[in-house]
Amino acid sequence: MKKTILLMMMSALLAISVNTSAARQPVPRIYMFGVAAAFTDTIVHFTDIQEVDSAWINTKNNFLLERQAYSYQLRDYLDQIMQMPHRTCIVFYSLKKEKLEKKYQKMMNLYTKSKDGKAHFDLRQLDKEHFRFRTVSSTPDLEESPQ
């Protein structure tokens, strides 16, 4: 009886761990851009749409893993290189460049088109020569191993 329960528990744990690791998958490339703003001024930074090699996604919903690491790259660049601390950074991504280009245009319109016709934000472009996203590794074996 105890062996049966133990065997069932081990099987359940194995199924959960296999299911978790199967949800992670590397993709050869992903497209992304970043937007950075602060609550204390009107400066908004946009990066170019960039191709990033070897990203990891959740296969169930195509959700980019380690998203926070990519947004931290932009935040750290603005803080350390541009001397603009306390920026809130958002990263937008897609497996398809065309889909991301539409999102990029939508975000640009949000900051450039106003009902009163006045410019309310100081938009600044960060081109690929100045800022580039770097690949972030997301290896399941390292993340799931006990410390």
pTM score above 0.85: no
Residue 12, pLDDT > 70, answer no
Lowest mean pLDDT of 10-19, 81-90, 103-112, name the range. 10-19
Q: Which of 53, 11, 8 is nearest to 30 (CA)?
A: 53
18-53 tens-digit pLDDT: 445 558 888 999 999 999 999 999 999 999 999 999
13, pLDDT greater than 50: no
Closest CA relative to residue 66, chosen from 26, 126, 20, 18:
26
d(CA 24, CA 37): 31
Strands (E), 11-144: 24-37, 43-47, 50-58, 63-64, 88-94, 122-126
Pairing between strand 122-126 and 88-94? unpaired
Instruction: State the Cα–Cα distance between residues 109 and 97, nearest whole angstrom.
Output: 18
